[in-house]
Chain A
Amino acid sequence: MIALSVRDLSLAIGRTNIVDAISFDVAPGEVLALVGESGCGKSVTAQAIMRLLPAAIRQTGGEITLGATSLSNLPARAMRDLRGRQIAMIFQEPQSALDPLATVGNQIAEALRQPLAKVRAEVRQMLVEVGISDPDRRIDQHPFELSGGMCQRVMIAIALIARPAVLIADEPTTALDVTIQAQILALLRRLAAERQTAVVLITHDMGVVADIADRVAVMYAGRVAETGPTAAVFATPAHPYTALLLASIPRLSDVPKSALAVIDGQVPQPADYGAGCRFAGRCPRADRRCVAETPALRPVADGRLVACFHPVGG
């Protein structure tokens, strides 16, 4: 069963393509990570799924399906009804995503489209589930009275109280300290499993991916470079970009002060995307074909797909 399906999604600013025909599926209870560096298109993909794209960005192709419902041609009103009920989203900075003038309880109740007085017990129970201590006091407090970690717990409560089938989490722990991040990741993992929520986790942090994602899609310059089960992708990365990215991360187990692998140059701007593989200009394995032709995603070992003419170990 598939909770969310994205097929050949393409996005553009004016005539400049920024996301090029990306596809993925997420099953109930599964965590799929979209990982990549700034500008790879991971956040706009999330916005496209929610139909919350900035005015300058258009969807130029593809199909997004939530359960049995196609979202791409859904009227705005019907889409609004789905948000919060069928599909919800949490963001990087919880303090700026919450309403500063509304109490925690009122904001969570709003997700149920009910007055707080009517659903107070349910809201209180949700605060308990997201690990907020002293829920009877917190329910009537405002966001400024809570820490960043607590605000993110409140965001998760708002997102999950209506039991949506899909949760989009856009860098949910990036603004948090590492001990608080560990708490929030453990919470997301537990709630996704218990409630069978399909989670699309957007992150730049390979450590976060390794921690909670069942599957991962590595994005580069608006395309999926490689996708598959997290364990397989990390153990034997097939795309040269994935391999270099993983090798460039300092780890607690590496030799201090040893040279880290580097990817020469920088991510190309959308206006400079060429005809071929968008990583070709920085890739140590690239040849003439890579510059001229776009590699399609094709299957390699362990249930993986890789978009490369010269995959590592293949």
Chain B
Amino acid sequence: METILEITDLCVHFPGRGGAPVRAVDGVSLHIAPGETLGLVGESGCGKSTIANAAVGLLAPTSGRVVVAGTDIVGASPRLLREVRAQVQMVFQDPITSLNPRMTIGTAIGESLLVRGRAAGAALRARVGELLQEVGLRPDHADRYPHQFSGGQRQRVVIARALALRPALLVCDEAVSALDVSVRAQILNLLVALQARYGMAMLFVSHDLAVVRHVCDRVAVMYLGQLAEIAPRDALFASPRHPYTRALIAAVPDPDPAVQRARVSVPLVGEIPSPANPPPGCRFHTRCPVAVARCAVDVPALRSVGAAMVACHLA
């Protein structure tokens, strides 16, 4: 099968306080087909942003393989990495910290085209103007600085910059989380439209399940550094197999009081354990409403259940 991103047995451990490493990502495998959008959801500390960073080569994994457009980027030379990065671009949560305050946005958007020798002079300026129009800004905005834009406009600038090299994969890490509701809708519509136009694949990392459901084709649910479940969108939301997926969906408040108050959901008890000291067996067993004795001992392997892959003994 052709993939644009293939992650195999990825482990990312960080040095922790008092010796025990923080196992931010612990044995995750996933892939993205060209043109596909994979959502990566989970709560704080589940490792979703770490996977996003590893996918673009921003951090070196402890072990495992990350293959982007056919090239293994783990341990790749800076030169090879530079070539691969033309294929994969990233959009972060906070656009103001992603943009150089002293660089006009036209320079920022055109920089990758210039340094790679793809365009210069009048041609570069024309291309930057096109990119600005594609994200809903005007070509004459090119001479302005980031502080002259609103938060939503800045995120458009960051998206234009990411699109400049026509990447095959766009990694979005909480790309709409810092935006107000009305602006978030504008950016989500833009991402969906751009993907339809250019057919790029997306890795869409978010803590917001409703947003993920809106933009993604498949969804991976992470808990404490591991995959709990990965399934096509409709299967995941219609019949979640993992108890954690069910709890996560049930915890999203529906913005309709009639629906929300008719729900009989029991909130999950307990806190998320530390990834430096994850529980034995299934990592979710300490909060799982249906756990049995086995769950505290045996690590559940990811296995196929219907359309989904689920890591649960009881699924």
Q: Which residues of A contact B (CB under 8 A)?
A: 37-38, 147-150, 177-183, 185-186, 204-211, 230-231, 234-235, 244-246, 248-254, 256-257, 259-263, 266-267
Which residues, 135 to 154 on B, are CB-close (under 8 Å) to A? 150, 152-153
Cross-chain pairs A/B with CB under 8 angstroms, 8 sampled: A206-B181, A210-B254, A249-B181, A249-B185, A251-B256, A257-B192, A262-B185, A266-B153
Interface pairs A-B: 10 shortest CB-CB? A207-B253, A248-B185, A177-B43, A250-B214, A206-B255, A260-B185, A37-B180, A182-B267, A263-B182, A182-B251
CB distance from A242 to the nearest CB of B (A): 11
Which residues, 33 to 78 on B, are CB-close (under 8 Å) to A? 43-44
Among B43, B250, B260, the residue within 8 A (CB) of A210 is B260
A253 partner residues in chain B, CB cutoff 8 A: 254, 259
Contact A150 B210 (CB under 8 A): no
CB distance from A72 to the nearest CB of B (A): 31
Whose C-beta in chain A lies nearest to the C-beta of B178?
A: A38
Among A179, A209, A256, A266, the residue within 8 A (CB) of B150 is A266
A185 with B210, Cβ < 8 A, contacts A257-B215, A260-B189, A266-B150 known: no
CB distance from A152 to the nearest CB of B (A): 11
CB distance from A244 to the nearest CB of B (A): 7
Asked if B127 lies at the interface with its beta carbon under 8 angstroms from chain A, I say no
Which residues, 235 to 277 on B, are CB-close (under 8 Å) to A? 237, 247-261, 265, 267-269, 271-272
Please report the C-alpha to C-alpha distance between residue A240 and residue B233 in the assembled complex, in whole angstroms: 32
B256 partner residues in chain A, CB cutoff 8 A: 210, 234, 251
Please report the C-alpha to C-alpha distance between residue A37 and residue B192 in the assembled complex, in whole angstroms: 23
Number of residue pairs spanning A and B whose beta carbons lie under 8 angstroms apart = 133
CB distance from A116 to the nearest CB of B (A): 24
Which residues, 161 to 217 on B, are CB-close (under 8 Å) to A? 180-186, 188-189, 192, 207-211, 213-216
A267 partner residues in chain B, CB cutoff 8 A: 180
Whose C-beta in chain A lies nearest to the C-beta of B271?
A: A147
A246 partner residues in chain B, CB cutoff 8 A: 255
A211 partner residues in chain B, CB cutoff 8 A: 253, 257, 260-261
Contact B182 A186 (CB under 8 A): no
Please report the C-alpha to C-alpha distance between residue A208 and residue B261 in the assembled complex, in whole angstroms: 11
Whose C-beta in chain B lies nearest to the C-beta of A186?
A: B267
Please report the C-alpha to C-alpha distance between residue A253 and residue B247 in the assembled complex, in whole angstroms: 17
Contact B186 A207 (CB under 8 A): no
Among B153, B209, B255, B265, the residue within 8 A (CB) of A234 is B255
A179 with B257, Cβ < 8 A, contacts A204-B180, A263-B182 known: no
Contact A182 B265 (CB under 8 A): yes
Residue of A148, A186, A206 with highest tally of chain B CB at under 10 A: A206
CB distance from B45 to the nearest CB of A (A): 9
Please report the C-alpha to C-alpha distance between residue A150 and residue B250 in the assembled complex, in whole angstroms: 21
A266 with B183, Cβ < 8 A, contacts A178-B207, A230-B257 known: yes
CB distance from A81 to the nearest CB of B (A): 36
CB distance from A184 to the nearest CB of B (A): 9
Whose C-beta in chain B lies nearest to the C-beta of A282?
A: B182
B211 partner residues in chain A, CB cutoff 8 A: 250
Contact A252 B260 (CB under 8 A): no
CB distance from B172 to the nearest CB of A (A): 14
A256 with B180, Cβ < 8 A, contacts A180-B271, A206-B255, A262-B189 known: no
A251 with B189, Cβ < 8 A, contacts A147-B271, A177-B44, A179-B267 known: no
Among B184, B188, B257, the residue within 8 A (CB) of A231 is B257
A178 with B213, Cβ < 8 A, contacts A37-B180, A204-B181, A211-B260 known: no
Among B181, B210, B261, the residue within 8 A (CB) of A251 is B210
B252 partner residues in chain A, CB cutoff 8 A: 178, 207, 252
A244 partner residues in chain B, CB cutoff 8 A: 182
B210 partner residues in chain A, CB cutoff 8 A: 249-252
Which residues, 92 to 111 on B, are CB-close (under 8 Å) to A? none
A207 with B255, Cβ < 8 A, contacts A179-B247, A179-B268, A266-B183 known: yes
Please report the C-alpha to C-alpha distance between residue A211 and residue B254 in the assembled complex, in whole angstroms: 7
A254 with B43, Cβ < 8 A, contacts A179-B267, A183-B268, A204-B180 known: no
Other than A178-B43, A249-B255, A250-B214, give 6 A-B pairs with Cβ distance below 8 A: A147-B272, A178-B209, A182-B265, A210-B260, A250-B185, A259-B192
B253 partner residues in chain A, CB cutoff 8 A: 181-182, 185, 205, 207-208, 210-211
Whose C-beta in chain B lies nearest to the C-beta of A181?
A: B251
Interface membership of chain B positions 287-312, coded 1 if the CB is closer than 8 angstroms to chain A and 0 otherwise: 00000000000000000000000000
Please report the C-alpha to C-alpha distance between residue A257 and residue B311 in the assembled complex, in whole angstroms: 28
B150 partner residues in chain A, CB cutoff 8 A: 266
Contact B43 A179 (CB under 8 A): yes
A230 partner residues in chain B, CB cutoff 8 A: 257
B181 partner residues in chain A, CB cutoff 8 A: 37, 204, 206, 245, 248-249
